[in-house]
Structure 1
């Protein structure tokens, strides 16, 4: 019996690659636009808002034997919302003080702010941040930079690098005075210590870059890290001397959605990490091991936080994890996103995304429906780093 597939992703780039991979196995998959929502042997690969989570949970509760698989979990705000994740890390480190997250997640503070008039009260709650910002104003002190991020916004929205409380107040006041409803509705913010010594590669004009790592979660719960890693570069050379007055998004922010303002070619903005020049195999391997260790520890803790992260046995999900490497080759986890923007990979590296989907179909989708894992060989692989009651 073939597997019926409902496929509809809003991004044409992503939708086409998934369709191509499924059509390679047209002996097993049948793409369809019409069937009942709970047909047996059905794969739903849809946008989050289109998935019927009530149906998925009902099938689990009823111990239904129907084979239905969806491409997203319902509850995962503990991973995806920056403030929720920061609270999880605080709680987890209190229980596990030797966790690798202590050294691989930047110092983070949470601001609960409904209006700029209440910033003083919010900073009183985050008193350690308040004290550091005050110290930054003193003479003969090397100021510590911080970066502000909205908890629920992505694509580098509403980022602000600052040193003092006055600069933070100016950012919020200017945004609210413009009657920006989107920011007025954002209540949770995080403030992280800005990593001002990123790893720079002279061969790439010392432009700052971060790593986009695809992490796959399946059922309840296995976690894989994909070794087809992207290096996303800023458009212009990094300048650590930039301050709040001269801050240039095209030097500091490495998201490709920001770089559309530049005229740099796609191939110069997005590269494959394991093909970067001037980094030897040993260094790349050590960085990858750090990444796997961080991902494993994140899900080791999150798996027990069922109110904010709830994997279910008839679903899988792909996340985009962002990491930064500093000049000492230490890796820092920055944030995670669901339904990552695959098109930022560009056309020249689309094979990397295609192989991700091929691996997912071969090693996760087909076994779920009772088929043996495919023996097809891809250059890039999924690496199992966490399984319930097991660590690797």
Structure 2
């Protein structure tokens, strides 16, 4: 019996790769033009807004022969919204002070701000940050840099590196427009996080000492197993890194591919596979990967008990893009997680990384859910199970 598939992703790069992987399975998947199906096995691979979560929750409670699987959980704001995640970490560390997150998640402060006029009040709530910013104004100390991030935006939107409260005030004053009624206006963001900026990133001379971060694909399935995919990407800035306190050049500091629009470099210079990078010993690579797996395991160990901010479903799976930074001592820091990651930033030269991600997803998650045996298709890149609610990994 075949599996009816309703596939509709806005990104053509992603949509075509998924379609190609499903069509390779010798007719096992029946790609539909409509979301209506009378079959007993149905796979919905859709944008978040197009998924019928009421139906998923209802079927998750019923006992019948119909099997439906969707590609997203409904509630996961505790992972994806930066302010919610920061609050989760604070609560988790109060219970688990020995958690790996204590030393592998940057110092983070939450700022609730609806207008620049209320910045003083917001900083009084974040008084520890306020005190550090005041210290940063003294001439006889080495100032601590911070980075501002909007809680609900991605793709490097509204990132700003600063040292003092006056710099922060200037940023908000320049960005806010009282006459701007646009729903996407910065005035509607309200929640921000401010993190201690990691000013000593790992730099590689082979790549002109350009800063980079790691994009790690994490797969959550059902209720709840977590896999880490070892097809890890290294996303590079366009220009060599420097720690100039007087200026913030996005092409030196921001490593998201979407922020490199003005870059003179080509795709192959901006996106590489982590395990093929030069100037990194294999033992160091493996140690970095172990740190990544332990951090991810601990995140979901804590989140799985926070049902108001993270609710896995037994008839769903989801792919997340986790971002990590490595410092010069090869210590790994978790930065943020994104749902529906932008796969097209991988480009055409490395699209095999994404294709094998989807092939592993079909083999280890989709087929077993519908009762089919794994195909055992050989891929160079693999899934690594790091968390299983039913077992101790």
Change (3 A) 1:230 1:35: closer
Deviations 1:8-56 (A, max 9, x none): 1000000000000000013310101135367420000000011000100
Per-residue deviation, 1:88: 0.2
Secondary structure of the 2:261 match is helix
Change (3 A) 1:138 1:390: same
Partner of 1:69: 69
> Which sits farther off after the overlay, 1-10 or 35-44?
35-44
Contact 1:217 1:223 in 2 (8 A): yes
Please state if 1:205 is matched with 2:202: no
Partner of 2:16: 16
Partner of 1:252: 253
Partner of 1:236: 239
- Structure 2 matches for 1:36-75, cutoff 5 A? 36=36, 39-75=39-75
State the distance in 1 between where 2:114 and 2:65 align: 47
Partner of 1:3: 3
Deviations 1:340-385 (A, max 9, x none): 0000000000000000000000010000000011111100000000
State the distance in 2 between where 1:85 and 1:218 align: 20
Partner of 2:326: 325
State the distance in 2 between where 1:226 and 1:271 align: 15
Secondary structure of the 2:73 match is coil
Partner of 1:298: 299
Contact 1:38 1:68 in 2 (8 A): no
Contact 2:322 2:338 in 1 (8 A): yes
Secondary structure of the 1:312 match is coil
Q: Out of 184, 192, 197, which is 1:194 matched to?
A: 197
State the distance in 2 between where 1:159 and 1:190 align: 10
**Dislocated runs of 4+, deviation >6 Å:** none
State the distance in 2 between where 1:124 and 1:102 align: 24
Per-residue deviation, 1:60: 1.4
Secondary structure of the 2:257 match is coil
Per-residue deviation, 1:177: 3.4
List alignment gaps of at least 5 residues for structure 2: none
State the distance in 1 between where 2:335 and 2:67 align: 36
Secondary structure of the 1:390 match is coil
Contact 2:4 2:37 in 1 (8 A): no
State the distance in 1 between where 2:2 and 2:327 align: 48
Contact 1:38 1:55 in 2 (8 A): no
Change (3 A) 1:32 1:206: same
Deviations 1:104-151 (A, max 9, x none): 000000001111111111101100000000000012010000000000
Contact 1:211 1:231 in 2 (8 A): yes
List alignment gaps of at least 5 residues for structure 1: none
Contact 1:76 1:310 in 2 (8 A): yes
Change (3 A) 1:179 1:326: farther
